[in-house]
Amino acid sequence: MPYILSKTDGSVLATVQDASLDNTTNLVFVGRNYAGYGQAIEENLLKLLENFSNTSQPSRPVQGQLWFDKNSVAQRLKVCYDGTNFRDVNNVLVGLTAPTSPNIGDIWWDTNVSQLKVYVSSGNWEASSPFGGASSSWSFEKINDGVTSGGWPAIEGKFGGGNIGVVFSNSPAYKPVSIVNSSTFPIIKRGITLPGADPISGSSSANTTTGYLLWGTAAESISTKKLQVATTGSNASFYVPFGDGQNGARTFYTTSTFFFNPSTNILNVKASSAVYADIAERYEADAVYGEGTVLVIGGEKEVTISTSYADTRVAGIVSKKPAYMMNSEAGSDETHPYIALKGRVPCQVIGPIVKGDLLVTSAHPGYATVANGDCSGAIIGKALEDHSEGFGVIEVKV
């Protein structure tokens, strides 16, 4: 009696006669009472394990069948998705030129510009970008100047079907000859070039009718000293902090109360304000210490954690939010924590503590406690809060 083999959808694939082998597919189906059936079954398992690995596609594929294309160029797993043609599982195509006969949604890695592109319509490959879709996107390109072999790498901002909005370039100034709407960009310079750039300087004039808030290129500073603005129905001129010329050699001004000279790096102001409340300085520590930890001078570095009562080597309290940071370039918070020199700062304490008590180091590492008796030279600061028995954190006036 023959075996009747049906597919998942119920259709009959093959009828296997007794004592015979069926070759309807790339797997061999064994009939009832066939002698030597073991080899056929084992080879079937091997073919499934290797996904019919070969340089040419299986000759009798079944819809949904996998095939590993071992061709030296491909070396990838493919699937018979429509019962006729094998396609890549991820369908990512690689090459210098656009693939032929693509389907919408195909992905192509353009090795010429090292960019991933998606086929969106007839003859149209769009750069895959997180900043936009088919109508607006950023595109990595090579722009030809008519002289340099291969062109210059750049990033083009595309809006409304390919019109270029902005070009970022890391190259000398050049005149583009292979760019959409090249008349809009008579010259490309290192930095940002906007539409309507001057053909010599690469800058756009400060024309208030354009509505631009940014013009020129990133390689050039804006040389204006005043900005015209409207206030309560009338026009007025206000100073803005812009440098003059290419090197910013002149001073920066806003009003007569503010002055900064970049040649000396000195800032002069009548007053300043800050959200945080202490003046602090960086010191090199032998470990990483958290906010409020009490440190003393000593250890393998400049400062280390306090471990004894009323230690006169006390350096201060670790601050994580100084209002004024001194010696800021010495290191990081991990290697050179800020230590509060003046102001108010959170501090680890062990109570009891009453507001106004003088604080010194305690025998508990990194904690402050109340000073008993004369502790000259060991005072950390004054408590700004009460604290009951045990460990805690309070604000301290240093």
What's the confidence (pLDDT) of residue 129? Answer: 54
What's the confidence (pLDDT) of residue 64? Answer: 87
What's the confidence (pLDDT) of residue 116? Answer: 82
In tens, the pLDDT along 253-288 reads 555 555 666 667 777 777 888 889 999 999 999 999
Average of per-residue pLDDT across 212-219: 38
pLDDT(93) > 90: no
What's the confidence (pLDDT) of residue 50? Answer: 92
Q: What mean pLDDT is reported for the chain?
A: 79
What's the confidence (pLDDT) of residue 285? Answer: 97
The lowest-confidence range among 81-95, 115-129, 168-182, 368-382 is 168-182
Hey, what CATH class is 278-397 in?
mainly beta
What's the confidence (pLDDT) of residue 189? Answer: 72
Higher pLDDT residue, 264 or 201?
A: 264
Per-domain residue ranges for the chain?
3-50, 226-269, 278-397
The lowest-confidence range among 47-61, 236-250, 340-354 is 236-250
What's the confidence (pLDDT) of residue 296? Answer: 97
What's the confidence (pLDDT) of residue 286? Answer: 96
What's the confidence (pLDDT) of residue 107? Answer: 83
The lowest-confidence range among 34-48, 240-254, 379-393 is 240-254
pLDDT(221) > 50: no
Higher pLDDT residue, 245 or 261?
A: 261
Nearest Cα to 154, choosing from 185, 117, 119?
185
CA pair distance 360, 357, nearest whole angstrom: 10
Of 162-176, 186-200, 280-294, the range with the highest mean pLDDT is 280-294
Higher pLDDT residue, 286 or 226?
A: 286
CA pair distance 172, 381, nearest whole angstrom: 60
What's the confidence (pLDDT) of residue 19? Answer: 93
Task: Please name the residue that has the structure tokens 């109340």.
Answer: 370
Q: Is the dihedral of CA 341, 344, 348, 351 positive or negative?
A: positive
What's the confidence (pLDDT) of residue 137? Answer: 65
Three-state SS sequence of 286-327: CCCCCCCCEEEECCCCCEEECCCCCCCCEEEEEECCCCEEEC
Average of per-residue pLDDT across 296-320: 96
Average of per-residue pLDDT across 367-394: 94
CA pair distance 110, 319, nearest whole angstrom: 52
- How distant, in Å, are the alpha carbons of 14, 69, 85, 103 from that of 57? 21, 7, 9, 21
What's the confidence (pLDDT) of residue 120? Answer: 79
